[in-house]
Chain A
Amino acid sequence: MTDYNFAYLDEDTKRMIRRAILKALAVPGYQVPFASREMPMPYGWGTGGVQVSAAILTPEDVMKVIDQGADDTTNAVSIRRFFEKTAGVATTTRTAEATVIQTRHRIPETPLREGQVLVYQVPIPEPLRFLEPRETETRRMHALEDYGLMHVKLYEDIARHGRIATSYAYPVKVEGRYVMDPSPIPKFDNPRLKSEAIQLFGAGREQRIYALPPHCRVESLDFEDHPFEASKADHPCALCGATGSYLDEVITDDAGGRMFVCSDTDFCATRRGEAA
């Protein structure tokens, strides 16, 4: 531990990031610019999430890192090791025991409670980006609540596919004010953005931090005659039998064999442990 400052970042950087986080919590859904640092990993691997986690970690924290719901994939394992090495904090795979959970593309199945912090890795924080490429213009649109364009995208979905085909990074409106990209979580997770835990979003390359304070009102955008639907594969989990969890489709052979299993490995393992 003498080789690193606690949690890797220097104290001035942590202060700068904490200020951005406080501002983000004060204005839910608003993207706060921050001076993102170079991290010892490539952009797109969670540099934003790692910086946010580093800024909020304390020596007493217990950390969990997931990637697409799993604790054992490359991204999750390497970030967990990174914090074991640079902050010396305890780590866990159990959602209920963790105080800080860094995630990529999922919200854990086990409901989060007060006192926990969920940190998202965000690739593209701007929900209007693919419709309006100019940053100056999108910032102005947020300032003026000029969000007609967001529905143009959903309209196009229905016109082309007969339904809203956006299935991840589904745009939400926060506290009736800011339209926000919830990071590429499946839209199955959207209703669970309203949570008891603090949710922080860090985009390293795009240099933005935004947040959802606990119990914040989060509505998924939709049309009256095409309401939002939190969809998932219509199967039970092949391992634990859960019917209400989000599933990954796993190809098992080259003859069309496949199985559906919980994407949240901790949730699935816990259920199987209880069943056994």
Chain B
Amino acid sequence: MTPLLEVRGLTKSYGRSLGCAEVSFDLWPGEVMGIVGESGSGKSTLLNCLAGLLEPDAGEVIFDTRADGPRDVLRMGEPERRWLARTDWAFVRQNPRDGLRMGVSAGANVGERLMAVGARHYGDIRARATDWLRRVEIDPARIDDRPRTFSGGMQQRLQIARNLVTGPRLVFMDEPTGGLDVSVQARLLDLLRGLVRDMGLSAVVVTHDLAVVRLLAHRIMVMKDGRVVEEGLTDQVLDDPRHPYTQLLVSSVLQV
């Protein structure tokens, strides 16, 4: 079996300050990788480099494409990378306003990726949008409403539907539960877990919330100052942290 994503020596710095340095890992099909660390530790830089939104200074990101097998996405042309980004990849942002088109209806938001890959049958697009709204627990009667009339949790679920509608194999998530209250967070995590399992998705989830990785991720990487300080199975790392920073992180979680 080949890994879905192979990352080798990924390095990105912003002038003198370091974004992330020499990050390497493999992501296998169906696996969810959690990246944790405090603010400024390079998590988001890493995620943006992986998704082709930022150009790293060095390293390779090799994705197992459907057509040609493993390819370095950093050396692909932009048309090809954009095609990947709207078919096999998905990017769920922390703020749904960044990931949604606020000016058009929920149905158009879900349908956009379908139309971008060539769907030209209005009835089909609408049927699939309806189906996806139902799957993310949004009342299909609201298909023609604009996202700005939705609550924060609904917007986040709409963003997930919009991203998963083309059946991607790899999902990047940047703090998917950030800014939501805890009960909404719990429902969203439950939903995400179900979707990841049912669709056999691989995912890279960036978060500072250890509860999120505990529930979603199979493996985690702990980052500090742009470097990976510890890596392993989620339960192993969280129950028996080795690195002093991980120990600090785990012990900082409030117990209620």
Bound Cα distance A233, B197 (Å):
55
Q: How many residues of A contact B (CB 8 A)?
A: 18
Q: Is the CB of B82 within 8 A of A159?
A: no
Q: Is the CB of A146 within 8 A of B121?
A: no
Q: Is the CB of A156 within 8 A of B122?
A: no
Bound Cα distance A156, B112 (Å):
11
Q: Which residues of A contact B112 (CB under 8 A)?
A: 148-149, 152
Q: Which residues of B contact A158 (CB under 8 A)?
A: 122
Classify the secondary structure of B's interface with A.
helix
Q: Does B120 contact A (CB under 8 A)?
A: yes
Q: Is the CB of B122 within 8 A of A144?
A: no
Q: Is the CB of B116 within 8 A of A146?
A: yes
Set A148, A222, A225: member contacting B115, Cβ < 8 A: A148
Bound Cα distance A144, B116 (Å):
12
Q: Does A254 contact B (CB under 8 A)?
A: no
Q: Is the CB of A223 within 8 A of B144?
A: no
Q: Is the CB of B121 within 8 A of A225?
A: yes
On whether A156 and B105 interact (CB within 8 A), knowing A146-B116, A148-B112, A224-B120, the answer reads yes
Q: Which residues of B contact A149 (CB under 8 A)?
A: 112, 116
Cβ proximity bits B64-97 to A, threshold 8 Å, 1 near / 0 not: 0000000000000011001000100000000000
**Smallest beta-carbon distance A141→chain B, Å:** 9
Q: Does A160 contact B (CB under 8 A)?
A: yes
**Smallest beta-carbon distance A166→chain B, Å:** 14
Q: Is the CB of A152 within 8 A of B111?
A: yes
Q: How many residues of B contact A (CB 8 A)?
A: 23
On whether A144 and B123 interact (CB within 8 A), knowing A152-B104, A152-B112, the answer reads no
Bound Cα distance A148, B109 (Å):
11
Set B79, B82, B115: member contacting A152, Cβ < 8 A: B115
Q: Does B101 contact A (CB under 8 A)?
A: yes
Q: Which residues of B contact A147 (CB under 8 A)?
A: 116
Q: Which residues of A contact B233 (CB under 8 A)?
A: none
Q: Is the CB of A155 within 8 A of B122?
A: yes
Q: Is the CB of A225 within 8 A of B104?
A: no
Q: Is the CB of B121 within 8 A of A160?
A: no
Q: Does B53 contact A (CB under 8 A)?
A: no
Q: Is the CB of B117 within 8 A of A148?
A: yes
Q: Which residues of A contact B82 (CB under 8 A)?
A: 144, 146
Q: Which residues of B contact A152 (CB under 8 A)?
A: 101, 104, 108, 111-112, 115
Bound Cα distance A156, B115 (Å):
12
Q: Which residues of A contact B105 (CB under 8 A)?
A: 156, 159-160
Q: Does A151 contact B (CB under 8 A)?
A: yes
Set B113, B117, B122: member contacting A223, Cβ < 8 A: B122
Bound Cα distance A144, B86 (Å):
13
Q: Which residues of B contact A144 (CB under 8 A)?
A: 78-79, 82
Q: Is the CB of B115 within 8 A of A151?
A: yes
Q: Which A residue sits closest to B105, measured CB to CB?
A: A159
Bound Cα distance A145, B118 (Å):
12
Q: Which A residue sits closest to B121, measured CB to CB?
A: A224
* Sample of 23 A–B contacts (CB below 8 Å): A144-B78, A145-B79, A147-B116, A148-B112, A148-B113, A149-B112, A152-B101, A152-B112, A152-B115, A155-B111, A155-B122, A156-B104, A156-B108, A159-B107, A159-B126, A159-B144, A160-B144, A222-B120, A223-B121, A223-B122, A224-B120, A224-B121, A225-B122
Known: A144-B79, A152-B108, A224-B121. 7 other contacts (CB 8 A): A145-B79, A146-B116, A151-B115, A152-B104, A152-B111, A152-B112, A159-B143
